[in-house]
């Protein structure tokens, strides 16, 4: 079960990281949801480890040809769960690449609590 309690995240070292997501089947992705814990739930009242700027790309089966599906900013002032409509929705993929370009100020790591893909 998804748990957005502080500390139950998927930590990436540093403020820039990437992850390859293999979907169970090929789909035309339409949106991606990113979740982080809330400021209220955080013991220090901060969410500086939340991702800030990120991109989503689709890759062919070999992982060689990449199509940028969108560039986004996760806003810590908004709800902890945010959905981003992808800017390219006409191509089907089984592999997606999520690249975290920056976070909200945490020098050692970036945390993601949940990623969901809709298509």
> 43 lies in a domain?
yes
> 5 lies in a domain?
no
Give 47's pLDDT tier (boundaries 50, 70, 90). confident
**pTM here?**
0.87
Where in the chain does DSSP place strands (E)?
10-13, 17-27, 31-35, 53-59, 66-73, 81-85, 93-100, 109-112, 114-118
Domain count along the chain: 1
Please report the pLDDT score of residue 73 as a whole number. 97
Percentage of residues in the chain having pLDDT higher than 90: 53
Residues 56, 72 contacting (CB under 8 angstroms): yes
Residues 36, 51 contacting (CB under 8 angstroms): yes
CA distance 17 to 109: 9
> 34 lies in a domain?
yes
Parent domain of 52: 10-118
Q: What is the pLDDT of residues 48-90, one digit of tens each?
A: 889 999 999 999 887 778 999 999 999 988 999 999 999 887 8
> 92 lies in a domain?
yes
> 4 lies in a domain?
no
Round the average pLDDT of the chain to a whole number and report it: 87
> 35 lies in a domain?
yes
> 1 lies in a domain?
no
All residues at 6 or more sequence positions from 85 whose CB lies less than 8 Å from its CB, including other chains: 30, 31, 70
> 29 lies in a domain?
yes
**3-state secondary structure at position 25:** strand
Return the CATH number at 22.
2.60.120.260
């Amino acid at each position: 079960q998804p748990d957005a309690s502080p500390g139950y995240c998927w930590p990436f070292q540093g403020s820039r990281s990437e992850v390859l997501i293999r979907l169970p089947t090929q789909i035309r992705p339409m949106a991606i949801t990113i979740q982080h814990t809330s400021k209220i739930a955080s013991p220090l009242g901060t969410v500086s480890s939340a991702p800030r700027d990120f991109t989503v790309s689709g890759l062919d089966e070999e992982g060689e040809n990449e199509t940028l599906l969108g560039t986004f900013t996760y806003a810590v002032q908004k709800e902890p769960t945010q959905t981003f409509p992808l800017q390219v929705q006409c191509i089907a993929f089984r592999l997606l690449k999520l690249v975290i370009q920056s976070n909200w100020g945490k020098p050692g790591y970036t945390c993601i609590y949940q990623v969901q893909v809709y298509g």
